[in-house]
Chain A
Amino acid sequence: MSINADTVKHVANLARLNIPEAEVGSYVDQLSQILGLMDQLNSLPTDDIEPMSHAVDILMPAREDEVVNGDNREALLACAPDSEQSHFRVPKIIE
């Protein structure tokens, strides 16, 4: 599968990354190279293989339905680049 400039732009858009036009070419080259490595996997038959998402087989643990957190507002908002009246502040979102 080959990567071209449009693919790079499409992927950058999905990933919310500003990629200057001048850098698109090098992304095309590097991603193509890396994906070239991947193509060797096609030689392996895997039709009946169960995909593996986790490194160990454990069952989902669950927590009790209890409220254990208090009001963290101050501590968390203190990390924000911009906040106002207990809110995270962002540029106007136009719906």
Chain B
Amino acid sequence: MPIDPNYETVIGLEVHTQLRTKSKIFCGCPNKFGAEANSQICPVCAGFPGVLPVMNREMVNMAIKTGLAINGQIKKLSVFSRKNYFYPDSPTGYQISQYDLPIVEHGELFIDLPDEPKKRIGVTRIHMEVDAGKSIHEGIVGASWVDLNRVGTPLLEIVSEPDMRSSEDAGAYLKKLRAIVRFLDVCDGNMEEGSFRCDANVSVRHYGAEKFGTRTELKNLNSIRNVMRAIDFEVDRQIDLIESGDKVVQETRLWDANKNISRSMRSKEDAHDYRYFPEPDLPPLTLEQSHIDDIKAKLPELPDAMAKRFQDEMGLSEYDAGVLTAEKEMSTYFEEANQIVSNAGKKNAKATANWVTVELLGRLNKDGLSIEDSPVSAVNLGKLVALIQTGEISGKIAKKVFAHMFDDGGDPEKIVAEKGLKQVTDSGSITAEVEKVLASHPDQVEQYRGGKTQILGFLVGKVMQATRGKANPAMVNKVLKEKLG
């Protein structure tokens, strides 16, 4: 929602994704989150004298995968450079990163927005670089502590073009990018733990203006929601400044999620001058086309392609296909459940999709759970849908069974059997129940025959009640109509 219709917002995002390699970028230390302080360091990552970096092969493969997934150009020649700056958690005094020759350039991705066609966002570049360590300040008297475990975690920095025009665009971009890196299994996408981090460059300009306005860089955005809120806050702030005759200052601002405001990072006494130059300890990185082709051939199906398949081959709506491919776990869950339904001889992906997106997601959201934590397994949900499809239980009973499965777990087939919930389809017993109900409700029978046919619903209800919901409603209808003649 444009805050002031006279202004256009321009947003570019820089995303740092931690790659899920086994070892670090330039040494053989484990690349694992949450270990005891400084237990995962060696002379190389801790920046000791005389030691040298040696590149991790898998990191490069992950960079290539990601580049291919966003339709980028994979560069046959790329170069590592040193970005020089002093900070206690940067032990060498420089970050090994890629500068003028990154491994990927000119990519793109397409974002999904409600009620709008897909929108293309350009990806300027992807480069590989090393993560820094952590300084700890809180609770330490008169000192700070440095933990270098994270130093050397391989990062991909993914830089977008300034193609986004609203916080909604930015949110959708992050969702899509996160889905892609998770489908590729190169990053776990966890924003809270910092394995998927985003900085936002935001500016505003009058509609129609050619030049970009002065931008600010927003940091400390640890969820998609915070990215969006911080952008909205910043757009407001910048417009207010301009409207009141002030100027936007180019600066870095930190988002405070508790107060819902951003504040200027105290401008360091010196402007940054990173003095980039080619890393003399690492030769240029050259790639063979055949290597790139090999990786391309093994790329998994990505969200957009999968969503299209769900629509084309399974007849799902664009909306459902979008929801089911937004997260890797979601699509895996859906496909697994749907396979069970198909195995039961009833192809009905729409029914499966409906159960996943409406019943399951509804309940998960209510309980604040994610799909990975679902108490109902994909197999069991598939079995439940199959039971409906084969007519074993009614949709109404299925909801009860589902509630049971969600609370106590278990296999729906067993629950149905144990609780005697199986749908009654035997016409003899249904006829018997119908006759009992007709006998005990002579007035209603009279009304029906007198033309008040809507009374049929009441009679169906009575039969269902008598069978505790197990009678096949279609059969009950049919038999009732026959008997009422």
Contacts and interface: CB of A to CB of B under 8 A. Distances in A.
Direct touching of A and B (C-beta under 8 Å): yes
A76 interface: yes
B191 to A, nearest CB: 20
Nearest to B135: A93
A86 B137 contact: no
B27 to A, nearest CB: 7
B56 A63 contact: yes
B144 A91 contact: yes
A6 interface: no
A79 to B, nearest CB: 8
Contacts of B60: 62
Given A62-B60, A90-B144, A90-B146, A69 B38 contact: no
A90 B142 contact: no
Contacts of B386: none
Contact of B36 (A72, A86, A92, A95): A86
A84 B143 contact: yes
A20 to B, nearest CB: 18
A67 B22 CA distance: 7
A2 to B, nearest CB: 19
Contacts of A21: none
Contacts of A79: 48
A67 B148 CA distance: 17
B28 A69 contact: yes
Contacts of A64: 57-58
A63 B44 CA distance: 14
A16 B86 contact: yes
B144 A63 contact: no
Interface string A42-58: 00000000000110011
A14 B273 contact: yes
A77 interface: yes
Contact of A59 (B41, B86, B136, B283): B283
Nearest to A62: B57
B112 to A, nearest CB: 33
B275 interface: yes
A88 B144 CA distance: 8
B38 A76 contact: yes
B286 A59 contact: yes
Nearest to B84: A14
A23 interface: no
A65 B39 contact: no
B48 A76 contact: yes
A62 B38 contact: no
B270 interface: yes
A71 interface: yes
B455 interface: no
A93 B286 contact: no
B92 interface: no
Nearest to B46: A76
Nearest to A13: B270
Given A71-B39, A76-B41, A88-B146, A65 B275 contact: no
Contacts of A57: 283
Interface string B30-42: 1000001111111
Interface of A: 10, 13-14, 16, 53-54, 57-69, 71-73, 76-77, 79, 84-93, 95
Interface of B: 21-23, 27-30, 36-43, 46, 48, 54-60, 79, 86, 88, 135-137, 140, 142-148, 265, 269-270, 273, 275, 278, 280, 282-286
14 contacts: A14-B275, A54-B283, A54-B284, A60-B55, A62-B54, A63-B56, A65-B22, A72-B43, A73-B36, A79-B48, A87-B145, A88-B88, A92-B140, A95-B137
